[in-house]
Amino acid sequence: MPSLRLQPPRFVCQRTHRHQSARSFTITSSKHLPSLGPESPSFIHVPRPPQPDAPHHPHIKGVLPIPRKIFSGDETANARKISPSYLDTTTPRSSPNRLAAPKPTDPSARRLVEWKARLAEDRRRNLRESLRELKGRKEKSDRWTAARSSAKQKEREGLLSAPTPADEKFTSPSVLQSSLPQRSALPDPDREARIEQKKANYARHAAMKQAERRNALHTLYMNARDFIVTEERLSEAVERAFDPRSKQFENDSREGVNIWNLGYPETVREMLEKASKEEGTRLGALEGMAGYGKITGERMRRLGEELTGGKM
């Protein structure tokens, strides 16, 4: 009878095997261990789970400044900012006089001058390249924004024009067809007539505005004859207003050298009373004749303006 030989099992628990291999008994001197105090979190070893830790995003203090908007919506101005003429004006080359200036003899000073020249050339090149890169970035962003907007508009139009789903139609309560919300425009049989009336009203209003503008221009032209536009006319107006031989300021006892010879100017109350008298409320004999004469003259002036078609 053959002898039976026991073999070890083929299945080995990986977790137990790992822990058994990791927890082998060793003796190590205490001087090689890290000196950790009781206050350290690593003083007691705590096994970590196999799940990785969540990513840590540290808080960055401060606020970045808002970048200046170099390219606007005007395509002509945007194209001008990357044109060769604009770049040459923005990043000018060194003047010929400066290039022709003698170099310093000291080696350290010469190296300083060459270093500054290299920095200036780097700044010019960086500005040109940055303008071109920003222009391309803006065009790419505009295309992406336009594509997203058009996609959203198409999606919205599709949702608005889509028919009612079958589940909503079969599960909705019974509602009269006349009570349902109208998806199309309401009927308007008088639309054409109303549009024609609106056009006629607009044309009449535009004609009235044009007539008022023409009348105001003609009034300005007629009144421009008395405008003072030169020094000679200003001198004539001053001489005429303050002429010592004028008798416009004379009274029974004084000569006409000052307007105050005629007394104090009218107050607001006196002007209002005169206006009310001119309207015909309480008119005296002389004041009534003067008021009617003034009204008649104003009427004749308006009549002449209507007949001639302009201001008088």
Report the distance separating Cα 131 and Cα 78, nearest Å.
10
Q: Is the pLDDT of residue 5 over 60?
A: no
pLDDT at 244: 66
Q: What is the pTM of this model?
A: 0.36
Q: Is the pLDDT of residue 27 over 60?
A: no
pLDDT at 19: 45
CA atoms within 13 A on the CB side of 186: 6
Amino acid at site 225: R
Based on its alpha-carbon atoms, the radius of gyration of the chain, rounded to whole angstroms, reads 49
Q: Is the pLDDT of residue 24 over 70?
A: no
Residue with tokens 């007629």: 222
Mean pLDDT of the 149-153 span: 96
Q: Which residues contact 128 (CB under 8 A, 6 or more apart)?
A: 87, 91
Mean pLDDT of the 38-42 span: 85
pLDDT at 1: 46
Q: Which residues contact 247 (CB under 8 A, 6 or more apart)?
A: 256
pLDDT tier at 289 (50, 70, 90 boundaries)? low
Mean pLDDT of the 196-225 span: 92
Report the distance separating Cα 249 and Cα 259, nearest Å.
5
pLDDT at 9: 46
Which comes out higher in pLDDT, residue 31 or 72? 72
Mean pLDDT of the 71-85 span: 86
Report the distance separating Cα 292 and Cα 277, nearest Å.
10
Residue with tokens 């030169």: 230
pLDDT at 257: 64
pLDDT at 291: 57
Which comes out higher in pLDDT, residue 312 or 265? 265
Q: What percent of the chain has pLDDT over 90?
A: 23
Average pLDDT, the chain: 79
Q: Is the pLDDT of residue 44 over 50?
A: yes
Q: Which residues contact 234 (CB under 8 A, 6 or more apart)?
A: 228
CA atoms within 13 A on the CB side of 136: 5
pLDDT at 306: 79
Q: Is the pLDDT of residue 254 over 90?
A: no
Which comes out higher in pLDDT, residue 16 or 276? 276
Q: How buried is residue 226: exposed, middle or buried, by Cβ count under 10 Å (0-12/13-18/19+)? A: exposed
Helices (H), 43-106: 75-80, 84-90, 96-99
CA atoms within 13 A on the CB side of 231: 0
Q: Which tokens is 22 given?
A: 């990791």
Q: Is the pLDDT of residue 290 over 70?
A: no
Report the distance separating Cα 286 and Cα 278, nearest Å.
12
